[in-house]
Structure 1
Amino acid sequence: MLDQLYIENIAVIEKASIDFSKGLNVLTGETGAGKSIVIDSIHAVLGHRTSKELIRSGAKSAFVSAVFRNLSASVLKRLSELSYTPEEDGSLLLQREIREDGRTVCRINERPATVSILRDIGSLLVDIHGQNENYGLLSQNQHLRYLDQMAQDEGALLEYQNAYTAMRSTEKQLKSLQMDEAEKARKIDLLSYQVEELENADLKLGEEKDLKEKRAFYRNSEKLANAVGEATDALSGGEESMGALSELETAAKALEEVQNLPQAQQLSSRLSDLSYELEDCLSELQNLSEQLSYEPEDVEKTEERLDQLYRLGQKYGPDEETMLSFLEKAKNELNQIQSADEVVAELNERLEKQREEAQKLAKVLSNLRRDTAKTFVKRVRKELNFLDMPNVEFEVEQLSAEMEMQGIDRVQFLISTNAGEPLKPISKIASGGELSRIMLAIKCVLADRDEIGTLIFDEVDTGVSGSAAQKVGLKLWETSRGRQVLCVTHLAQIAALGDQQYFISKRVDSGRTFTKVDLLDREGRVEELARITGGGELTPLLLQNASEMLSRGERKKLALTKQG
């Protein structure tokens, strides 16, 4: 149940807080006062599409919050699935801020949410019925949804749809395998060539990286070899010099022969140590020189392999992993095509079984709908009779159709609004007022088929007047016995039957328009009913008639309560 609605900076509403109650809540007011803005605000906080144009002129953003209480089991379950929890008192707070740059900020119980999550939760909390839904009644697709809602066939529908989806998946697989012989031959030739080329390449992960390191080594090896050679010659000597090692050893021996000078002996010892170190360096240089040696054909092989990998990479992918993956896919596809006849035979056999299963489940669903239609028609006729449409004939036409996601039925509602006239589709003959009452009748029939706690009727009285208007009001009140109903109306007959009445008014102050919402007491309701009825000065007679209208409404509600 919608407990409280807070609106800030939406159109002509600067700030408004509305506390709703259970039962029938009616909203009245002059045209343009802002009744539709209240409904637009509820649309917004429930995650419906909105626009920054909704923001009040001069404001940076608009804000709506809604508090719901007495949450249904389906709402609690969905909240848990989305990792949200109600407040400690069991309430749920939805908030939405719309900014002038077009961005939206949404929250559920002060936690961040998305517009789609608001819409998901909102669809379980409130069902808004307005003129758009009236025109939706003209759609055959909507007729089928209403019938399914009446049938409560979620299990049968889901079981059929799963079977249908599996069948369509197999059909898609079959289609992908079916090709003419010429195309098949071309595909086999191409795949065979690709597989052979990649298999012959004997690709190894990381090979290209290793080869590039080798190539870098080969390209620098001459320079390295020259440096190592020069260093070796400098230490070991050559044709023109003795070499540093030999000269060092000579110096050490010369100083060793000086016996009477201790310092000379120390230097000789140090030079000897250096000569040992130089011998180690010379040995390592010789080893390094051997490592730098390679055959010219090694360079050629490396370049050829890198060139091969480059060419393969241009066709099959930038690295070995991608090319090996391509190879695996090509082999699988080739094998699939070559064994296509066997696969096609298996898929055809599977498809036949799936089609039989889908058709069987579709017939079960269709029979369920046919049985439900009888009850649906009977109950809708009863509601229409109550709503001052006693001569209206109403039927559900259920015809066979090609199997699709929703089954094998084409459903549409047929009516005849005048005695003796043939039944025709609603879209052909229903007027605006008739559509409103037919829609209300259907909503009343379906009211006990879901757990949605709040129904909102926006101008359901379009094209309705006189006794029919009072019947509409009584039906709205009757519907509100099991849930909360909010109704925007222009008719006093409907407003008089509300449990609570809210008056929406506007004023102009310093060139700006302001809207406010007031909960009316009995005196205020009498004045508002008189205004709606008379449209001008509130005369004593108008006020007396309005008071009597309100009293009659209370008596009728009491009588209905005793009957119930």
Structure 2
Amino acid sequence: MLELLHIENIAVIEAADIAFRPGFNALTGETGAGKSIVIDAMGAVLGGRTSRELIRTGASHAFVSAEFSGVPADLPGLAEAGVAPDENGELLLQREIGSDGKNVCRANGRPITVAQLRRVGSELLNIHGQHDGAQLLDEEQHGAYLDRFGRTEGVLTAYQQAYGVMADLRGQIRALQMDEAEKARRMDSLRFQIDELERANLQPGEEEELTARRNLLRNGEKYLGALSGADYCLNGGDEGGGAVEALRAAETSLYSIRTLGDDLMELYKRLENLRCEAYDLAETIRDKRAEFDFSPAELDAVESRSDLLYRLKKKYGATVEDMLNYLEKCREELDAIETADDTLSRLEQQLQAAEKKVRAAGAELTQARRAAGAVLEQRIQQELRDLDMNRVRFAIDFAEKEPSPDGCDTIRFLMSANVGEDLRPIARIASGGELARIMLALKNVLAEQEAVGTLVFDEVDTGVSGRAAQKVAEKLAQVSRRKQVLCVTHLPQLAAMADTHFSVEKGESKGRTFTHVILLDREARKAELARLTGGTKVTPALLESAGELLDEAESYRKNL
């Protein structure tokens, strides 16, 4: 459960520590005092979307931390983030939001990403906002609610895999289905490109060889002059001379004294090696000079080939290898078009088999959903009776549809608000208060199947009053015996039912607005309940009524 929420520089909250307790925790306060800011801070530390506007004016960053207890070591998301609770099962989540948009997230001091924080946070705490009821008006969400309740993930995954195969086959068939005129145009284009590339007779690596040869031919005279000069220095001219001859003469001079000492022998060997190396070098230079054949015609041919490659690269690829790959793709596409009829026949047979698998998987998914739907109807109906909606009927309608990524069913939640009225879509019949209670019922049923230990309700009592408000308060008290409940409310019935009551108060100091979160004792709770009931004018009668409300709530909680 959530033990401690620490907030720094979030909107009008400069600093606040809220020590939540087990059971039912309520937060009340004037409109605009900052109750929803506390919820925003919770969302931020759980990896929710944030913006720089959330940072308090004049501050360089905002910071939120949340300390949880009783966290299992195998909580989903922890292992992926490389994090584990401490030996007491405690986990500290932290998030710092900078004015430059950067975020720093940590879990038990270890840096993690926002995505990892969101994954872990979703397993620890659920926030149900005051606008969640609007999701019930979106019939596309009804199937998702049912799948969550029925835990149909395995069957749904199998269906989606079969549907993916079918969709892929349909895409391949569409790609092959073109009219004859379009097919002829495409085949002509492919044949022209294939012919042009094949006539070029491209060879891997030839561009680099051409570039090197062209540079050599363009500098032919300079190349020959350099080799001739080096050859003359090493081998001499017709009259002799040259470095090789000089080294040989020096070697001959030392030959007769080489045995007179080790140092002379070493000197002779060095001179011999030098002469051999010079001789090999001279022969190599002579061979290069002899084999170089400078021809203006060859230079023209190399220039022409390079120009051809340049023009082809502008159309078919940045390198010769890219153009060869493109040529192969053109051949494959042309072959596919020429054999399209045979391929279409084969794909259509595969598609028929794939469609049968989709229908079978869809039927299995529908069966699982209908079974889950029957149970969900009963559970919702029971929850609605607990919420003083005895005359409301709730049902789940299934209608067959063509296979789509989410199945072969159109799922809608229907209700009848009064006796004798037909079941109709919730969007057409539910009032604001009814919508809030139906959503609360649905959230309670879904929460029973989830491991999340803390549920946060942000003004889910919107549109609810009187006896209905009392029933909502009792329902939240019941839920709080299984899970920790945090509730932002304006209703005295809900606030009185809480085990722990916090007041969010706004004030001014030195020209700045500040929000404080205060834990209320019994007398302070009476005053706050009286304010919720009667507004700014708190009378002794209202205080007495508030005390009675607290006594009744305490008596109800003791009997749970």
Query: Partner residue of 1:321?
Result: 321
Q: Which runs of 5+ in 2 are unaligned?
A: 250-271
Query: Residues 414 and 425 of structure 1 are in contact (CA less than 8 Å); yes or no, is this contact kept in structure 2?
Result: yes
Q: CA deviation at 1:70?
A: 2.1
> Which residue identity does 1:21 align to in structure 2?
R
Q: CA deviation at 1:123?
A: 2.2
Query: Residues 27 and 503 of structure 1 are in contact (CA less than 8 Å); yes or no, is this contact kept in structure 2?
Result: yes
Query: Partner residue of 2:255?
Result: none
> Which residue identity does 1:71 align to in structure 2?
V
Query: Partner residue of 1:197?
Result: 196
Query: Partner residue of 1:493?
Result: 493
Deviation larger for 338-347 or 105-114 = 105-114
Query: Partner residue of 2:82?
Result: 83
Q: Distance in 2 between matches of 1:485 and 1:130?
A: 13
Query: Residues 152 and 449 of structure 1 are in contact (CA less than 8 Å); yes or no, is this contact kept in structure 2?
Result: no
> Which residue identity does 2:41 align to in structure 1?
S
Query: Partner residue of 2:254?
Result: none
3-state SS, counterpart of residue 81 of structure 1: helix
Q: In the superposition, relative to structure 1, how do residues 197 and 545 fare at CA in structure 2: closer, same or farther (>3 Å)?
A: same
3-state SS, counterpart of residue 137 of structure 1: helix
Q: CA deviation at 1:233?
A: 8.2
Q: CA deviation at 1:236?
A: 6.5
Deviation larger for 23-32 or 115-124 = 115-124
Deviation larger for 204-213 or 181-190 = 181-190
> Which residue identity does 1:364 align to in structure 2?
E
Give the TM-score normalised by structure 1. Answer: 0.87
Give a deviation string over 1:397-455, Cα, whole Å, max 9, x none. Answer: 22122211111111222222222333222111222111111111111222212222211
Q: CA deviation at 1:464?
A: 1.5
> Which residue identity does 1:202 align to in structure 2?
N
3-state SS, counterpart of residue 409 of structure 1: strand
Q: Distance in 1 between matches of 2:230 and 2:508?
A: 100
Q: Distance in 2 between matches of 1:331 and 1:14?
A: 69
Q: CA deviation at 1:282?
A: 8.4
Percent sequence identity over aligned pairs:
48
Give a deviation string over 1:158-183, Cα, whole Å, max 9, x none. Answer: 11111111110111111112112222
Query: Partner residue of 1:69?
Result: 69
Q: Distance in 1 between matches of 2:504 and 2:394?
A: 37
Alpha-carbon RMSD across the aligned residues, in angstroms, is: 2.8
Q: In the superposition, relative to structure 1, how do residues 501 and 233 fare at CA in structure 2: closer, same or farther (>3 Å)?
A: closer
Q: CA deviation at 1:124?
A: 2.2
Map of 1:32-431 to 2, 5 A cutoff? 32-71=32-71, 76-226=75-225, 287-431=287-431
Query: Residues 72 and 452 of structure 1 are in contact (CA less than 8 Å); yes or no, is this contact kept in structure 2?
Result: no
Q: Distance in 2 between matches of 1:147 and 1:181?
A: 48
Query: Residues 92 and 108 of structure 2 are in contact (CA less than 8 Å); yes or no, is this contact kept in structure 1?
Result: yes
Q: Distance in 2 between matches of 1:30 and 1:9?
A: 20
Q: In the superposition, relative to structure 1, how do residues 231 and 526 fare at CA in structure 2: closer, same or farther (>3 Å)?
A: closer
Q: Distance in 2 between matches of 1:231 and 1:486?
A: 93
Query: Partner residue of 1:269?
Result: none
Give a deviation string over 1:447-468, Cα, whole Å, max 9, x none. Answer: 2122222111111221222221
Query: Partner residue of 2:16?
Result: 16
Query: Residues 72 and 451 of structure 1 are in contact (CA less than 8 Å); yes or no, is this contact kept in structure 2?
Result: no
Query: Partner residue of 1:31?
Result: 31
Deviation larger for 488-497 or 224-233 = 224-233
Query: Residues 476 and 485 of structure 2 are in contact (CA less than 8 Å); yes or no, is this contact kept in structure 1?
Result: yes
Give a deviation string over 1:502-540, Cα, whole Å, max 9, x none. Answer: 121122222222111122233332332233233345444
3-state SS, counterpart of residue 149 of structure 2: helix
3-state SS, counterpart of residue 3 of structure 1: strand
Q: Distance in 1 between matches of 2:71 and 2:545?
A: 40
Query: Residues 55 and 61 of structure 2 are in contact (CA less than 8 Å); yes or no, is this contact kept in structure 1?
Result: yes
Q: Distance in 1 between matches of 2:159 and 2:292?
A: 74
Give a deviation string over 1:164-216, Cα, whole Å, max 9, x none. Answer: 11110111111112112222233233323333433343333221111221121
Query: Partner residue of 2:480?
Result: 480
Q: Distance in 2 between matches of 1:390 and 1:231?
A: 110
Deviation larger for 227-236 or 59-68 = 227-236
Map of 1:436-447 to 2, 5 A cutoff? 436-447=436-447
Q: Distance in 1 between matches of 2:284 and 2:419?
A: 116
Q: CA deviation at 1:108?
A: 2.6
Query: Residues 9 and 55 of structure 1 are in contact (CA less than 8 Å); yes or no, is this contact kept in structure 2?
Result: yes
Query: Partner residue of 2:453?
Result: 453
Give the TM-score normalised by structure 2. Answer: 0.87
Q: Which runs of 5+ in 1 are unaligned?
A: 253-272
Q: In the superposition, relative to structure 1, how do residues 528 and 345 fare at CA in structure 2: closer, same or farther (>3 Å)?
A: same
Q: Distance in 1 between matches of 2:284 and 2:333?
A: 56
Q: In the superposition, relative to structure 1, how do residues 535 and 341 fare at CA in structure 2: closer, same or farther (>3 Å)?
A: same
Query: Residues 76 and 120 of structure 2 are in contact (CA less than 8 Å); yes or no, is this contact kept in structure 1?
Result: no
Query: Partner residue of 1:553?
Result: 553
Q: CA deviation at 1:543?
A: 2.9
Q: CA deviation at 1:100?
A: 2.2
Deviation larger for 387-396 or 303-312 = 303-312
Deviation larger for 366-375 or 473-482 = 366-375
Q: Distance in 1 between matches of 2:70 and 2:388?
A: 34
> Which residue identity does 2:106 align to in structure 1?
R
Q: CA deviation at 1:29?
A: 1.8
Q: CA deviation at 1:353?
A: 0.9
> Which residue identity does 1:513 align to in structure 2?
T
Give a deviation string over 1:38-57, Cα, whole Å, max 9, x none. Answer: 11111222222222222212
3-state SS, counterpart of residue 505 of structure 2: strand
Q: CA deviation at 1:21?
A: 1.9
> Which residue identity does 1:460 align to in structure 2?
V
Q: Distance in 1 between matches of 2:339 and 2:134?
A: 54
Give a deviation string over 1:29-75, Cα, whole Å, max 9, x none. Answer: 222221111111112222222222222122122111112222357x7
Q: CA deviation at 1:350?
A: 1.1
How many residues in Structure 1 have an aligned counterpart in Structure 2?
529
Q: Distance in 1 between matches of 2:154 and 2:283?
A: 86
3-state SS, counterpart of residue 395 of structure 2: strand
Q: In the superposition, relative to structure 1, how do residues 521 and 298 fare at CA in structure 2: closer, same or farther (>3 Å)?
A: same
Query: Partner residue of 2:507?
Result: 507
The structure with the larger Rg is 1
> Which residue identity does 1:389 align to in structure 2?
M
Q: Distance in 1 between matches of 2:287 and 2:148?
A: 88
Q: In the superposition, relative to structure 1, how do residues 221 and 504 fare at CA in structure 2: closer, same or farther (>3 Å)?
A: same
Q: CA deviation at 1:117?
A: 2.7
Q: Distance in 2 between matches of 1:428 and 1:60?
A: 48
Deviation larger for 416-425 or 51-60 = 416-425
Map of 1:517-556 to 2, 5 A cutoff? 517-556=517-556
Query: Residues 76 and 123 of structure 2 are in contact (CA less than 8 Å); yes or no, is this contact kept in structure 1?
Result: no
Q: In the superposition, relative to structure 1, how do residues 473 and 218 fare at CA in structure 2: closer, same or farther (>3 Å)?
A: same
Query: Residues 472 and 494 of structure 2 are in contact (CA less than 8 Å); yes or no, is this contact kept in structure 1?
Result: yes
3-state SS, counterpart of residue 77 of structure 2: helix
